[in-house]
Amino acid sequence: MTSELLDQALVEEATKKSGLIWVRGADAPAARALWHVWHEGAVCLVGDGPGEQPLTGLADGGAAEVTVRSKDKGGRLVTWPASVSEAAPGSPEWEAAVAELKGKRLNAPDGEEMLARWARECRVLRLVPAGSPLTLPDGTLAERPVPSPATTRRPVPAALPRLLAGRRKKK
């Protein structure tokens, strides 16, 4: 019993303190970094709408694997299995989750209209711990990034090295 309580405390504290978690759904080929809040014993996520994070591979009633990093060192701290449930817009679970998520959402394009947009166009998911933490693997688990226009590399402008060198000389 003590081991179960320690595992539960580790999962809760590590997840609360981490700004990002890596989640891999049952159907997803790779884990994806997602912002979240810890609320009432579960991770709450919002996404799959315009301008929100994609929740690829996470389905209501499905399973997921959540990896949490250490806040101070940045390394993998704990990986735990989760059961996924989707809160229906307007339900008490949805209202409680979005009240917490609203405070953590940075740079929302629509401010006060955000909750109405989430109800209309997004999904709110709860990932509840489902079992004891998994053993951490020995390898790095490094994978190629998911294709995105945000990761497109372009050549460095020719004048950039001169501009940076000029700034150092002026100081």
Q: Which residue has the higher pLDDT, 138 or 10?
A: 10
Q: In this predicted model, what pLDDT tens digit does every residue of 18-66 receive, in sequence order?
A: 889 999 998 887 889 999 999 999 999 999 988 899 998 899 999 999 9
Domain residue extents for the chain: 2-139
Q: In this predicted model, what pLDDT tens digit does every residue of 78-122 receive, in sequence order?
A: 999 999 999 999 999 999 999 999 988 888 778 778 999 999 999
- As a whole number, the mean pLDDT across the chain is 86
Share of the chain above pLDDT 90, in %: 47
The architecture in CATH of the region 2-139 reads Roll (2.30)
Alpha helix segments (H runs only) across 25-159: 92-104, 114-121
Q: How far apart are CA 22 and CA 157, in angstroms?
A: 34
Helix (H) or strand (E) holding 165: helix 160-170
Specify whether the CB–CB gap between 129 and 68 falls below 8 A.
no
The whole-model pTM stands at 0.78
Which range has the worst mean pLDDT, 82-86, 136-140, 148-152, 160-164?
148-152
